[in-house]
Amino acid sequence: MIPSWQMRWCTLTKAFNKGPSEGIFDDMDLASSRLGSNTQTRTKTLMDWISLIDQIELDEDADVLGDLYEYLIGMFAANSGAKDGEFYTPHQVSDIMARILTAGREDMPTYSLYDPAMGSGSLLLTTASYMKNDGIRRAIKYYGQEVITLIFIGGIL
C-alpha cells in the first residue's frame, strides 16, 4: 500500500509535468536512505529543510535563494573535487565570461544564449543579467544541455 503522503506528492507533482518542466520530479526519491534511515527521520529531515528555507527573508532587489544555492554548490564542489566530468565554475569566472559575451550587444532587442555544458545554468543567467531586456518575456532565449539529469533539472528551475 502506498502511504498517503506519497499519493499527495504524486498529485502535486503532476501539475509540473507539462511543458518545459515535464518530468522535473521523476528522479526525486523521497524514500531515499540519504534523507534518513526510516520514514520518521526522512520526514523530520524534509520538515527541517522546509523550516530553514521558510526563515529566509526574501528581498525583491536581491536573489537570496540564488545566492544561497550558488554558495552551497561552491561548497559542495570544493569538498568533493571534480569527478565524472563535473566541474564548478566560480561566479567571478561566469561574470567575466558574461561581460565578454555581451560586450557591445547589451541593447539588442532579442538575444539567444547557448551553453553546451550548462550545469546549473549559472552562466546563462549571469549573461542574461547584462542584457538591457533581461526580465522582458521572450526577449532572451535560453538553450542548454547537461548530461546529468538531476543537475539539468536544477538548471531549468
The reported pLDDT for the residue numbered 22 is 67
User: How much is the pLDDT for 106?
Assistant: 83
For the stretch 118-152, pLDDT in tens is 887 888 888 888 888 777 777 888 888 888 776 76
The pLDDT score that the predictor gives to residue 7 is 67
Distance CA 72, CA 144 (A): 22
Low-confidence ranges of the chain (pLDDT < 50): none
- Helices within 18-118 (DSSP H only): 39-54, 64-80, 91-102
Q: Please report the pLDDT score of residue 43 as a whole number.
A: 87
Strand partners for 83: 86
Grid coordinates representing 42 are: 526522512
